[in-house]
Structure 1
């Protein structure tokens, strides 16, 4: 199985790193294309893959990942669409590009997998949602799942959920980074050195997330476990409720989803 990556930015590097590290595909079966030669040389040195500045060479692979910025999608698809065959699978990562829009851009029936990864893929802890068109078989879907799981976790969703996925996982690392920064600011205010404060805050978030995933318990139940009667935690939770913490998160996600829908 040969993989082609059109675009060699952060997300493509994250995917390639996970795929190579997990030995799902050998480095010599991967080729990446990009306008910037320095970016390609860096990826080649890091992963041992083939590189090219010609998108059409990368588009010869069995599975082709379109990892360019959304605004460049029409241009890149126009470059490669005539050479795409019935056997190839095209994996996209751009928000807002529906399967129907992609099919129209290619101008012919092609096997499409629409995904929404997130930046924690760069440390092999990504969360990727995906959906396929009807031309992708279950066996091919399993192939793609194995690739997506190489840099974190993945789940198949119905396409109408993809805009919600953008707000709950695609964009949400930014919200979490803001929370970590705010928590660190609070610790600095109380006398802790900045670097140490960031480590404490980040580890607390990491551990809390792991508790949710590994115990299977509801986040509210886990929150209640930390909140002793008349204790420090419930005092902090009361302030967060008073300041509209939940409402702010809900409103932010609604705005994100609306933007993803193009409204």
Structure 2
């Protein structure tokens, strides 16, 4: 795992409110009223500001999945939700695919995910925004139910434009309701063909999108959907000034940036323990 903690001149999008100015070390002379103040270099100022931004305890946390189809995003989302719930926090997975199947009539084959299909693209963006509204409503709660604490937003989120829209949405939400919202993007990257093929098989045999197809047709359709997304896919990059975790081949190799505080203490180490192979579990009963 590598962690990149280089700070930016401006606050990272999606985190609100902005951090307070970094504290200065207090000397004995200052405590006695001396006007002398220690100098903080620009680099130290940026580093302290970045640390303060991410170590603060946010009121709400959003884990945003990123990745191509058949990369295990929903698998990761469900595992994260179970783990966070086990830690005692109110967590829920918001799956845009499930919302699409509920609201869209007919069958959405690979043509629905063609980046050149303007009408379908507009529908997909509208569904994503509607799901985001569900997240916000869940965060706020109502008279009977307390608001949620951690949301897992499960969708491809495969372009910088979509991710920017997410950050803007949660930034506005945070300012409107005077709360802090921390957004962390989690990208699932698979380069191992065996892992990808296993994911494809699992998806076509379990996804409602393919229950009306035979296996061969379903695999062909999913592979074409993957090509459609690959044509417009933009991986997470540092120039987006975001917090992210990249998980490789659904196992313990990760690359993280801008992850401090709560997430670093819980979610990140947990993801480092991921594995997708069956392992024996031995239960020993030691008796004399």
TM-score after normalising by structure 1:
0.35
**Which of the pair is proportionally richer in helix?**
1
Structure index of larger Rg: 2
